[in-house]
Structure 1
């Protein structure tokens, strides 16, 4: 394990150190017998923080913040996931709710919307569709001849239904994917329009569901159409939020449809499953309650277990436990008056002795259990609400690998989504990207270049268990579902707080090494880093992929929300010392690539990722100890970016920005998926351009060689982003020499202050690996750059 900085005590654990949704008093030993806390609703609100003291209290209370605190009109604002009791606590410290952004009832509406869309898609794709060709025409305008086709499918109401046209042109087989045209929510038809070198006699339309239709090509009479038509490029392949099963099924269908371009990679580390033991907290007060947990998973029999605490109806009866099948009866001890006298601790001990094959029992959250148990009964439940067709078994996380040459010979690019379960838009970005690459391949030259010259890896959902829990049980689930809490925190009242933050579980800049932004001790924290670095199978899968495919050199981690675009370093220690900053040349490449990618995002509907939300993670957000992008950059040398999709929307009437949340209404979620799919393809274009760069960089020292009367600041002009390696002692520069660094946070490259006569030797390397003047620092070559700065004594 690599340790980049000295480990130290974590004095600040960053954001989200307690999960929302529950009031969480701990009934510790010696505390009075209190009523059991009830589960609370959650909402996303915008908080207004009056001063720094209140801000410190916000962190101390462990409120789940969705992104960094922003200053606005002299006040601090931040979005947070909170319960009513947390809101009441915050008010005591002067922190007010400025606006309620999303309520639990709205989240439930999103779930219902998703379910309805999913059911519609299942209905429409259950069998082969029927296709009607409405028009198949050719026409010639002033500049070219075009083929135009309209077709309609009986399954057109779902965006995953794709139609492909095939025809023969001058003896060469051609194909194109049709655009799907929808107006005000109504499916109208599919269509395409492309230039042709010769008019084909017929066209055949094939659906990915198996439907086919053919038609002769006729001349369109309106031959005087103006100008050139727009480039034919097909988008809009997603139409609802998708569960992990839907995502993986979609991936498999693409692999079946495009076997020459796609393969599915199955990760070696299975998740722990969308499953839990069945539980019940029997009793109404903390000191007399008993927590009963099944030994078997809920779906494997735990949900069939019942427990009954009974008064046997006689005086001076002893405590005893009887087990009959899945039914457990506890006859409580009674006193001389026939009243029950068994304490919670005594009942726990009896259950663990006599019913240990079925259940394990504990007092409530570490309570001494001195209260007398009263008669009660309960049926155990795993509290999972997904339908039976949602598998409870450990899942195999899958990646879609796209490329004409998938043998490691082409530069690899990785896009991965949904490390955080509640971020429903992010998987759609990967699926939309995959569909665009495959369905535009046959007829779009730029797409063909990308697929032919890159090795593209897309992971739609890193965290499928947590995603299922978010869809079916608790919308605001951030983590996976693995419960690492000790018995004192394992009662079902804490069930929405269990799990590990997968974007805090990696081995570089981790909380275990003293970095800020995660918890190693609070298993209920929203940013719980797990029991150890890389403890979770989901995190291990990402490490495996990066190790297995060493051609990967660019990556994008897709998150939401807030509209950020970030890169390493992603963590700092309690003194705010970050992980090592990229060199000036590496930073320049991050910025240059970002310019291309952000422009592509903007092209969809004009969304601008703000300058204040673009840059290294600590400069625009906060410290995220143990995040996955830092692992890829520092351990594997992969240029790794982070999207936060879902930029705030400007409310012109209110003259303010409005947050969109993790699960916006699908109409907004669709737009976010479209624009960030643009951005992900923008990253592919950066990778392709970089792979074709065979031209070495050139640099120039300013000033150059000369005589000077006093100290001189020497800078370097470069014709492209490039890392400069230099020496000041006259030795040959090598890859072990110093790199030119930034002059400061968000500042340009440093200058070298020369105070005595010095020879500066250097060379530059661009991100494509081209070395200036083709210099080889591994040999005794001397064709490096050199200037001598002479300082008069």
Structure 2
């Protein structure tokens, strides 16, 4: 064993190494605006020896993705967003790395997306042309059916929806017979037409087809002999996404849906406005290569509110012994540098800072460059225009954003079990909002025609938030595609020059108050530049507050799904642990854990049915068991504070390359063809989760349990079994069991229920309670009746 003195020395060295790397990594982001390819960010695979290596990597605060590959006895790999310079630093420390994808590859994806968006705009402006190919009525095996085929010249866009309305016969009102969305039919990636086949009560006279882009056509219904074999109850429409969507598009989409289906949907505006897609305008005067001589200039107003119209110039005066002075005319600031007896410029950065703040402080704030002394001389400059650096078109609002949720349900009064579905806490996860929007579309557009959908909408209260991080997502689309955090800059002057703009923001999935970095949990950082920055305080960010407010104000919410990417994981609380001893947040009871597992299997089966994607068992389970610690995450907040069964999807499972016999990661922003497939299969999963919630709401059957005793010469081991996932509360001290009694817990990581051991004869009293709150034998723990289960266990 090492001496205590030696141990302390090793710990000190380890801490020094852990501190050294983040400081060096931070300097990488300090490159000038003319960043070279050396500082381009990319997705990189880091090879690790063991979990200790991973925890060390977490302590560095680098930008890890959620994709972690573990190999039995052969180490593991973690993906991260790194610059070339950061890669070199890690390699110097002995890490082996492989590049997965570069930022340049995203440009093509952006262009493809913009082409599709422009197509939609052009078609919407001109109205598409709708043609009804066939409108037939027929009977078969005693049933009456309406079959319609229609086509739109905007059919190449998946988001173009055709809706049919029909009457009940001659001289009846249009729409009196019913309404339904048509299903888009394509073959070999070519759009053919839209169609529907539905049972009807009476023979319609006319049918009207309306496109979501404005086109419309009406046709008479004709009799049809023969035709397709009818499949009553099978009409289910899906596939409503054809490009990645910005937060602006997402808001428009769900607002339009709520308006169209106002009887079963509404928009909920969340109370806390975000900071907005906005920045102060900035520039730097002086030589950045010599920090002591550089000055950072920041506008008082936001860039779009006037900051971008400010310009500044430092000029050398002609003459000797001239004083430092400032000329300000409207939005132009001229710094006239002082001269020495030889007529050379002699103004130090600290003097220029003081002078600007004193005489041009109504327009700008001047600060030293990254906390430098300001003792260096300021050189003259060309006229510099301050800019906020934002690249989104002017049509994208810079103002604080009102976050929106679409609430779906026939009864939206809190009387039904609530489900919260939310996505894009991390800005760069472009696929995740598509999962949410696709789910909303399916629920609303299938309501009138699909019995299973109608069952869910009639019996659940569903809240869907497509983008929890609208500001960061906008920044990811238009400025820096790897943006993870929101856009709020909590860094002080030392870390707020324009070259560091991509490092600002708070990780919204680390900003919650349960198991946070401020409570000593691992996987978050207090460094404002870290990719996993937990914020200046717990719950500091409006986006995080909105999510919790939604849960707090709707106590009927019993289930939640946080949709992330990428890696193909399916996880639940606890989500964080402390580094020392790997102490997790309290584990669920064995019964609760069993419910998480049983519900997960149902949901994962729905995902697999789309294209055969299997979420691996090794990537299913509590977060720290299958991934890594994530201090301050939202699922933990919902589970521990609101007792909501909260899961995390990680869409984008690795794809199997059969030729090379290896798994290949898909990334945050895969080609849309892959992103579309991920959206479809995980929307299946969300529908599966709603099925779980429906069964929970309608479960009125109490569980039953059995006690199995295994005796030895010295003790007796107790093992409980239940008819369904249920928590066992028990006593061995002859007291009535209550909700304050001992509970059967999980015996260990990835293990089953614990088995208590009796050292002496005792009477075991217990009861079981399932996830829906049904109690065995209808026992009332706080009542007076003794209809709990009881058995005396003898120990020799």
Matches of 1:621 and 1:91, distance apart in 2: 23
Q: Secondary structure in 2 aligned to 1:287?
A: helix
Tell me which moved more, 64-73 or 506-515. Answer: 64-73
Match of 1:330 in 2: 335
By how many angstroms is 1:406 displaced? 0.5
- For the structure 1 residues 143 and 660, does the alpha-carbon distance in structure 2 shift closer, same or farther, using more than 3 Å as the test? farther
CA 1:640 to 1:611, structure 2 compared with 1: closer, same or farther past 3 Å?
same
| Counterpart-to-counterpart distance in 2, 1:429 and 1:55 | 30
* Cα drift, residue 173 of structure 1: 2.4
Q: How does 1:689-708 map to 2 (within 5 A)?
A: 689-703=695-709
User: Deviation digits for residues 23-77 of structure 1, max 9, x if unmatched?
Assistant: 1469xxxxxxx99986821111223346788657644554322135433482432
Equivalent of 2:476 in 453, 463, 470: 470
Q: Do the aligned partners of residues 146 and 385 (structure 1) sit closer, same or farther apart at CA in structure 2, a change above 3 Å counting? A: same
CA distance in 1, matches of 2:152, 2:190: 13
Rounded to whole Å, the distance in 2 between the matches of 1:132 and 1:678 is: 31
Structure 2 equivalent of residue 443 of structure 1: 449
Aligned alpha-carbon RMSD (Å): 2.6
Contact 1:18 1:63 in 2 (8 A): no
Alignment of 1:80 with 2:80, yes or no, is yes
Deviations 1:268-298 (A, max 9, x none): 0000110010001122322211100000000
Is 1:639 matched up with 2:642? no
Cα distance in 1 for partners of 2:126, 2:418 equals 37
| Change over 3 Å in CA distance of 1:50–1:689 after alignment to 2 | closer
- Deviation of 1:790 after TM superposition, in Å, equals 1.4
1:661 aligns with one of 642, 664, 667: 667
After TM superposition, list the pairs within 5 Å mapping 1:251-266 onto structure 2: 251-266=254-269
Using the size of structure 1 for normalisation, the TM-score is: 0.93
Q: Is 1:207–2:211 an aligned residue pair?
A: yes
CA contact (8 A) 1:482 1:499 kept: yes
Match of 1:30 in 2: none
8 Å contact from structure 2 (residues 571, 649) kept in 1: yes
Partner of 1:239: 242
Does residue 780 in structure 1 map to residue 779 in structure 2?
A: no
SS at match of 1:383: coil
Query: Larger helix proportion, structure 1 or 2?
Result: 2
Say if 2:179 is the partner of 1:180: no
Q: How far, CA to CA, are the matches of 2:441 and 2:409 in structure 1? A: 13
Q: 2:103 maps to what in 1?
A: 104
**1:697-742 deviation line (CA, Å, top 9, x unaligned):** 11111139xx975411111111101111111111111111111101
Question: Structure 1 residue 113: deviation in Å?
Answer: 1.9
Unaligned runs of 5+ in 1: 1-8, 27-33
Which position in structure 2 is the counterpart of 1:608? Answer: 614
* Residue 630 of structure 1: aligned partner: 636
- What secondary structure is seen at the aligned counterpart in 2 of 1:66? strand
Separation in 2, partners of 1:151, 1:227 = 18
Does 2:542 align with 1:537?
Answer: yes
2:306 corresponds in structure 1 to 301
CA contact (8 A) 2:145 2:230 kept: no
Residue deviations 1:545-565, cap 9 Å, x none? 011111000000011000000
1:515 to 488, 501, 521: 521
Q: Secondary structure at the match of 2:370?
A: helix
* Other structure's SS at 2:467 match: coil
Q: TM-score, normalised by structure 2?
A: 0.92
C-alpha separation in 2, matches of 1:629 and 1:206:
41
Task: Please tell me whether the aligned partners of residues 233 and 449 of structure 2 are also in contact (alpha carbons under 8 angstroms).
Answer: no
Pair 748,132 (structure 1): closer, same or farther in 2 beyond 3 Å = same
Give the distance between the partners of 1:406 and 1:460, measured in 2 at CA. 19
Residue 501 of structure 1: how far off its partner (Å):
0.5
Q: After alignment, is 159-168 or 504-513 more displaced?
A: 159-168
CA distance in 2, matches of 1:716, 1:54: 39
Residue in 2 that maps onto 1:769:
773
**Are the counterparts in 1 of residues 29 and 503 from structure 2 also a CA contact under 8 Å?**
no
Q: State which drifts further: 485-494 or 144-153.
A: 144-153
CA, structure 1 residues 226+247, in 2 after alignment: closer, same or farther (shift >3 Å)?
A: closer
Q: Is the 8 A contact 2:61 2:532 kept in 1?
A: no
SS at match of 1:539: helix
| Alpha-carbon distance in structure 1 between the residues aligned to 2:126 and 2:26 | 42
SS in 2 for 1:369: coil
Q: In structure 1, what is the equivalent of residue 156 of structure 2?
A: 157
Following the alignment from structure 1 to structure 2, what is the Cα–Cα distance between the partners of residues 56 and 624? 11
**Equivalent in the alignment of 2:44:** 45
1:622-641 deviations in whole A, cap 9, x for unaligned? 11111011000000010000
Q: Residues 19, 678 of structure 1: CA spacing in aligned structure 2 closer, same or farther, 3 A cutoff?
A: farther
Residues 117, 367 of structure 1: alpha-carbon distance in 2 compared, 3 angstrom cutoff = same
Please name the residue that 1:29 is paired with.
Answer: none
1:741 aligns with 2:740: no
Match of 1:572 in 2: 577
SS in 2 for 1:654: coil
Q: Which residue of 2 aligns with 1:527?
A: 532
Distance in 1 of aligned mates of 2:188 and 2:39: 38
CA distance 1:305–1:183, change in 2 (3 Å): farther
Deviation of the 1:229 alpha carbon: 7.5
Aligned to 1:756: 760
The structural deviation recorded for 1:222 is 3.9
Provide the rounded CA distance (Å) in 2 between the counterparts of 1:47 and 1:407. Answer: 49
Deviates more, 1:36-45 or 1:575-584: 36-45
**CA–CA separation in structure 2 for the residues paired with 1:158 and 1:63:** 39
SS at match of 1:441: coil
Aligned-residue offset at 1:260: 0.2
Change (3 A) 1:160 1:228: closer
Q: Deviations over 1:160-202 (max 9, x none)?
A: 2222222356997233210112345543221112344654343
CA 1:578–1:52 in structure 2 vs 1: closer, same or farther (change >3 Å)?
Answer: closer
- Which moved further from structure 2: 75-84 or 758-767? 75-84
Match for residue 3 of structure 1?
none
Per-residue Cα deviation, 1:740-787 (whole angstroms, up to 9, x for no partner): 101111111111211211111111111111111111112112111111
Which of 314, 318, 325 is 2:323 aligned to?
Answer: 318
Task: Report SS of the residue matched to 2:578.
Answer: coil
Contact 2:62 2:531 (C-alpha < 8 Å) held by counterparts: no
Instruction: Give, in angstroms, the shift of residue 146 of structure 1.
Output: 3.9
**Change in CA separation of 1:621 and 1:77 when aligned onto 2, cut-off 3 Å:** same
**Alpha-carbon separation, structure 1, partners of 2:373 and 2:197:** 75
* Segment of structure 1 superposing worse, 617-626 or 315-324: 315-324
Distance 2:295 2:432 in 1: 41
- Separation (CA, whole Å) in 1 of partners of 2:33 and 2:469: 35
Residue pair 1:20, 1:81 contacting (<8 A) in 2 also: no
> How many residues are treated as equivalent by the alignment?
771
Q: Which residue of 2 aligns with 1:130?
A: 129
Counterpart CA distance in 2 for 1:735 and 1:554 is 22
SS at match of 1:480: coil
Asked if 1 retains the 8 angstrom alpha-carbon contact of 2:197 and 2:231, the reply is no
Following the alignment from structure 2 to structure 1, what is the Cα–Cα distance between the partners of residues 33 and 460? 61
Q: What is the CA–CA distance in structure 1 between the aligned matches of 2:338 and 2:349, rounded to whole Å?
A: 11
- For residues 194-233 of structure 1, what are the structure 2 equivalents within 5 Å? 194-196=198-200, 199-222=203-226, 228=231, 231-233=234-236
More displaced stretch, 338-347 vs 692-701 = 338-347
Q: Describe the SS at the equivalent of 1:308.
A: strand
Give 1:226 shift.
6.0
2:419 alignment partner in structure 1: 413
CA distance in 1, matches of 2:67, 2:219: 57
In structure 1, how many angstroms separate the alpha carbons of the residues matched to 2:536 and 2:645? 28
Residue 721 (1) aligns with residue 725 (2): yes
Matching residue within 279, 282, 287 for 1:279: 282
SS in 2 for 1:483: coil
Alignment match, 2:603: 597
Query: 2:253 aligns to what?
Result: 250
